[in-house]
Chain A
Amino acid sequence: QSVLTQPPSVSAAPGQKVTISCSGSSSNIGNNYVSWYQQLPGTAPKLLIYENNKRPSGIPDRFSGSKSGTSATLGITGLQTGDEADYYCGAWDSSLSALSYVFGNGTKVTVL
């Protein structure tokens, strides 16, 4: 069972917008940066958002991130068929005696 909670799936038509929530606690999202990763079918995950809302070079501005308290949100506007993938949020967690990185359970985006 993942420490960070995401909806299993979201869907929308091409050109529309979807949002993916990621819920955590004060030991992870509440006090650490959130990153988002996109995993296209059959490939390795890829960094999409870092430090809650920053995009690496090459990531289009259709992708956006935000954080409030112990939750974070990924937004995708102008949805394209190429956006069909699994999306994972992640953050460092300092609740245990040692440092650990936790991922969400993942959200599958389907373009209708």
Chain B
Amino acid sequence: QVHLVESGGGVVQPGGSLRLSCAASGFTFSSFGMHWVRQAPGKGPQWVTFIRFDGNNKFYADSVKGRFTISRDNSKNTLYLQMNSLRAEDTAVYYCTKDRAVQGAIPYYFDYWGQGALVTVSS
């Protein structure tokens, strides 16, 4: 059974940094691309970033490009999101999601979601 568990959320001041982690289990982590999707309070989901199964290709939403970095450690079955220069509008629940395609070169869709980690950017 696929299990995705996010951690590292919290309260941070504007301009600050935070790193989220996502521990994956129940599937061959190194064979699947992974995403981060966020959801601001009372709003719909917003895709943030994708990393290919081998870490060799990454895509970012324009709103986070240059500030956020996605990475993965396939030896630890863990996905990361380094968030720098945080803004109030980055406040959201951040979900780690698994991509459907096996060793896909490009992203496909999100077939499993974690329970989310809340990030609050406030002074």
Contacts and interface: CB of A to CB of B under 8 A. Distances in A.
Contacts of B44: 2, 86, 88, 103-106
Contacts of A56: 111
B111 to A, nearest CB: 5
Interface in B32-72: 35, 37, 39, 44-47, 59-62
Contacts of B47: 100-103
A112 interface: no
B100 A99 contact: no
A88 B115 CA distance: 17
A33 B62 CA distance: 22
Interface residue tally of chain B, by bracket? 20 to 34
Main SS class of interface, A: strand
A63 interface: no
A50 B62 contact: no
4 closest residue pairs by CB, A with B: A101-B47, A44-B113, A106-B44, A35-B109
Nearest to B95: A44
B106 interface: yes
Given A44-B114, A44-B115, A98-B62, A103 B109 contact: no
A19 B75 CA distance: 44
A101 B62 contact: no
Contact of B106 (A90, A96, A99, A104): A99
A108 B13 CA distance: 33
A96 B62 contact: yes
A30 interface: no
Given A37-B45, A50-B111, A56-B111, A99 B59 contact: yes
Contacts of A2: 44
